[in-house]
Structures are given as C-alpha cells and as structure tokens.
Amino acid sequence: MQNSDITYSVNEKVTAEAVATVYKKAGLRRPVDDLDRIGRMLDHADIVITAWSGDQLVGVARAITDYSYCCYLSDLAVDPDFQQQGIGKNLIQQLQQQIGEEVSLILLASAVAMDYYPHIGFEKLNNSYAIGRKR
C-alpha cells in the first residue's frame, strides 16, 4: 500500500498490542504473545520512534542508548503493506537525530535483513559477540 501521509513520533505512548502486531506482520522474532513483556521492552527503551498512517501504527524503531557514545537499535520493523516507501530509513534518520553525531548506531540484524542494512548506510562488522537469552 503506497501512502505518502506517514507521520513520525518520538517516544509517543504506544500500546504493546500495536507494536506486537507490527512485529508479527514484519516477521520479527519477538515475544509477541507476551504483551506484558513487549510492554516492558517499550517502557525500558530510551527511544521509541513510531511511524503512523493515520491512527495505524506501521513502523517502529526501539533503541537503548547512553546518548554519548553508543546506541543499540533493538528493533526496526515496518508493516509489509508499507515497506518499500523509505519508512525504515526514515525511522533510522529520526533515531540518529535524537542521538546526535557523537553516537555510534549498532544493531544485530536478523538473517532476512542482512542485505537491507548496508543498503541504508550501515557497515557490516565481524567483531560482535552475544550471550543468548534463556527464553
């Protein structure tokens, strides 16, 4: 669905249900059936940028940052009906405006998004490590 009337909000209150719906549609592997946990993820994020088509949530970027050195982009999701319109790129640009030029933006990409991030300016790195969650 092409829609040029997308608006963006910074840290606007959004429901866990609305975010879980976008995650499901976009295919993000998140605990979408545990709305309490999604709510905690939103509540404890430092920055949540949302994209709206009218009153419908169509995209979300959720990040954790110190506002001084680094910012971890935890989630970037766009409803498939609204992809290919630059919404993901705009969400990231909005995030970069919030964190400023001193801060590196870091993410762990899902396997299906590996080709997307270099396309919008991210550099692929081979020096990351993780200790996975138990659930």
Instruction: Return the SS3 of 6.
Output: strand
Q: Which residue out of 69, 72, 117, 129 is catalytically annotated?
A: 117
Residue reference for tokens 């879980």? 20
Residue reference for tokens 């590996």? 114
Tell me if residue 69 is catalytic.
no
Nearest residue to 88 (alpha-carbon basis) of 54, 122, 124:
122
Gap between the terminal Cα atoms of the chain: 35
- Residue numbers annotated as active site: 117
